[in-house]
């Protein structure tokens, strides 16, 4: 998330009650997670496992819970609970804004777009030209929808990221301040849910088509002209490149890449990156030809065992 105007380091330090390491006038232009930060962004880290990654990321301001040497050209904000400090900044700079109408007066709707009765369009949403938003679809605040997009009934665009920190007293929610960005000529099936980025964007590229009952997690990128079958579940921070086909009921784990032109057959599940241009099947998904050979070999196993008796 980018701030409307750059904010001084000293202002943020005062707000979250953190010890400041760096020039008080140091400019902070936005806030983001480690995997999507850019120069000028603020991020947070609260576990030794990720200190190095955060300090060496593109972020130039880091909220951290340990006194460490400050990298050159960066600033540190040291406090006991970086997670809580980050959430407080989200609530300050992108607070919840209740709806006052089914289609928010602050939404921008393009020429020729039809919004059917019962649909919800939240605050500061942008919808392009010649779109069709069917009844009971919901588009949450700040989402961006391109031209010639179809969103079917019951779809939810921009629900919160599924991101919680476990604590002795229960789970603490990391409030989401990201968006969903949907490019032109995308079709989103009924009862599909696409979660917003935690602080960046979940991105659906031009020409991609979703069947019904699909789940897309936060900060995921889906490329151009993909086909996503019914009941697919795609975890967060995943990258699906152009021309990928996921047939029905495919499960995709987080933090991986499915390469350009890959095809994953129905009922498969993958927990690792898949190379493009190949067809995959099974749980865990492997190249389909290899999997079919394994199945054929298993069918032969009873006959082989019977001959050994």
Given 3-state DSSP classes, what are the helix, strand and coil percentages for the chain, each rounded to the nearest 5?
Answer: 15, 30, 50
Q: Is 18 within 8 Å of 11 (Cβ atoms)?
A: no
- Could you read off the pLDDT of 120-157 as tens digits, one per residue? 999 999 999 999 999 999 999 999 999 999 999 999 99
Going by pLDDT thresholds of 50, 70 and 90, the confidence category of residue 220 is: very high
Per-residue pLDDT, 309: 65
Please classify residue 222 by burial: count the beta carbons closer than 10 Å to its beta carbon, then call 0-12 exposed, 13-18 middle and 19+ buried. Answer: buried
Least confidently predicted of 151-165, 218-232, 236-250, 279-293: 279-293
Looking at every residue in the chain, the average pLDDT score rounds to: 95
Percent of the chain with pLDDT over 90: 92
Q: Is 218 a catalytic residue?
A: yes
Q: Which two tokens stand for residue 57?
A: 């990321």
**Which pLDDT does position 206 carry in this prediction?**
98
For residue 307, pLDDT beyond 80: no
Question: Which structural domains are found in the chain, ordered by start?
Answer: 2-93 (3.40.1390.10), 108-219 (2.160.10.10)
> How many H helices and E strands in the chain?
4, 34
Q: Which of 241, 251, 252 is nearest to 277 (CA)?
A: 241
**Could you tell me if 91 and 84 are in contact, meaning their C-beta atoms sit under 8 angstroms apart?**
no
Beta bridge partners of 239: 221, 257
Query: Tens digit of pLDDT for each residue in 6-30?
Result: 999 999 999 999 999 999 999 999 9
What are the angstrom distances between the C-alpha of 254 and each of 126, 179, 218, 251, 285? 28, 18, 10, 10, 15
Catalytic member of 142, 148, 213, 218? 218
Distance spanning both ends of the chain, measured CA to CA: 68
pLDDT for 269 equals 97
pLDDT at 293: 86
pTM for this prediction: 0.93
């Amino acid at each position: 998330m980018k701030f409307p105007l750059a904010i001084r380091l000293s202002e943020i330090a005062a707000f979250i009650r953190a010890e400041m390491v760096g020039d008080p006038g140091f400019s902070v232009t936005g806030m983001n997670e480690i995997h999507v930060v850019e120069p000028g962004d603020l991020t947070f880290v609260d576990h030794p496992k990720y200190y190095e990654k955060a300090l060496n990321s593109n972020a130039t301001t880091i909220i951290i819970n340990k006194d460490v040497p400050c990298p050159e050209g960066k600033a540190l904000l040291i406090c006991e609970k970086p997670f809580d400090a980050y959430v407080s900044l989200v609530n300050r700079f992108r607070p919840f804004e209740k709806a006052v109408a089914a289609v928010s007066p602050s939404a921008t709707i393009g020429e020729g777009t039809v919004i059917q009765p019962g649909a919800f369009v939240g605050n500061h949403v942008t919808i392009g030209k010649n779109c069709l938003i069917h009844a009971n679809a919901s588009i949450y605040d700040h989402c961006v929808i391109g031209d010639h997009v179809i969103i079917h009934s019951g779809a939810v665009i921009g629900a919160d990221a599924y991101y919680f920190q476990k604590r002795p007293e229960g789970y603490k929610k990391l409030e989401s301040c990201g968006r969903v960005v949907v490019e032109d000529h995308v079709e989103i099936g009924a009862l599909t849910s696409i979660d917003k980025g935690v602080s960046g964007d979940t991105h659906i590229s031009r020409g991609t088509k979703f069947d019904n009952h699909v789940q897309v997690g936060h900060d995921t990128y889906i490329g151009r002209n993909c086909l996503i079958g019914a009941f697919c579940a795609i975890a967060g921070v995943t990258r699906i490149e152009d021309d990928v086909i996921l047939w029905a009921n495919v499960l995709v784990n987080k933090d991986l890449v499915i390469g350009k032109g890959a095809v994953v057959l129905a009922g498969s599940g993958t927990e690792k990156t898949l190379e493009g241009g190949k067809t995959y099947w099974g749980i865990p998904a492997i190249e389909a030809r290899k999997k079919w050979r394994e199945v054929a070999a298993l069918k032969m196993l009873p006959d082989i065992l019977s001959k050994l008796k």
